[in-house]
Amino acid sequence: MSVSTLAAASITGLVLAGGRGQRMGGADKGLQTLHGRPLAAHVLARLAPQTGALVISANRNAAAYAALGAPWHAPVLADTLPDFPGPLAGLLAGLREARTEWLLSAPCDSPWLPADLAARLSAAALAQRADIVTATTSNAAGEVSLHPVFALVRTSLADDLATFLAAGERKVRAWYARHTAAEVAFADERAFYNINSLQELADFDRA
């Protein structure tokens, strides 16, 4: 039996690169290089075949991100809220910018994200009539990890997210809980690995 998925053209891809990079000593994560390419460039290249348009959420170094996004005509979006309020602010910017029914987000420090991320999340969105779909993985002990910023979100939720943030709320899972949400289990934990320090990045660069 065939599984229904969304057409790539109906999804905008969002690279979340708007954080402070505190665990990298304040470095702009998405611009740090892995195997000669900035991390954000790896993510853009992984998302591009799965989506139509691409956008980048970044609050620093806009020109550098614009150069990375140029091959895909990806605009750079700054948060509309001050003081780096977290990934939901970047998500809101993406939801506002998108001209598609769906937005697929991924963090800028996840260079191995799955090639079938959009297909599997969108299949769950259609099958379960969900407005938000996120990814999970399990370790060898069977413990489940949710990866909330790898998410497929219906863009019509932008106004609700704006209201949530205006009320001072910042927790990603709390906002998801307001809506019909689904989860998809992926087998490969490494696909969702976030590079969180310069030492980790150096170790992977040597691998």
Lowest mean pLDDT among 18-27, 87-96, 134-143: 18-27
Three-class HEC string of 185-203: ECCCHHHHCCCCCHHHHHH
Question: What's the CA gap between 47 and 43, in Å, rounded?
Answer: 6
Q: Count H helices and E strands in the chain, helices first.
A: 7, 9
Tokens representing 9 are 């053209």
User: How buried is residue 52: exposed, middle or buried, by Cβ count under 10 Å (0-12/13-18/19+)?
Assistant: middle
User: Which has the closest alpha carbon to 44: 32, 57, 54?
Assistant: 54
pLDDT(183) > 80: yes
In the chain, the domains with their CATH numbers are 8-206 (3.90.550.10)
**Could you report the per-residue pLDDT of 65-123, keeping only the tens digit for each?**
999 999 999 999 998 877 767 899 999 999 999 999 999 999 999 999 999 999 999 99
**Distances from the Cα of 51 to the Cα of 72, 80, 206, angstroms:** 11, 24, 31
Mean pLDDT calculated for residue range 39-44: 97
| pTM for this predicted structure | 0.93
Kindly state the helix (H) or strand (E) to which residue 182 belongs, with its residue range: strand 181-185
pLDDT band per the 50, 70, 90 thresholds, residue 199: confident
**Could you report the per-residue pLDDT of 150-179, keeping only the tens digit for each?**
999 999 999 999 999 999 999 999 999 999
- What b/e sequence results for 115-141 when a residue is b if at least 16 CB atoms lie within 10 Å of its CB, and e otherwise? eebbebbbbbbeeeebbbbbbebeeee
Lowest mean pLDDT among 7-16, 49-58, 78-87, 169-178: 78-87
Spell out the residues 6+ positions from residue 185 whose beta carbon is closer than 8 angstroms to its own.
Answer: 135, 136, 137, 138, 144
User: How buried is residue 92: exposed, middle or buried, by Cβ count under 10 Å (0-12/13-18/19+)?
Assistant: buried
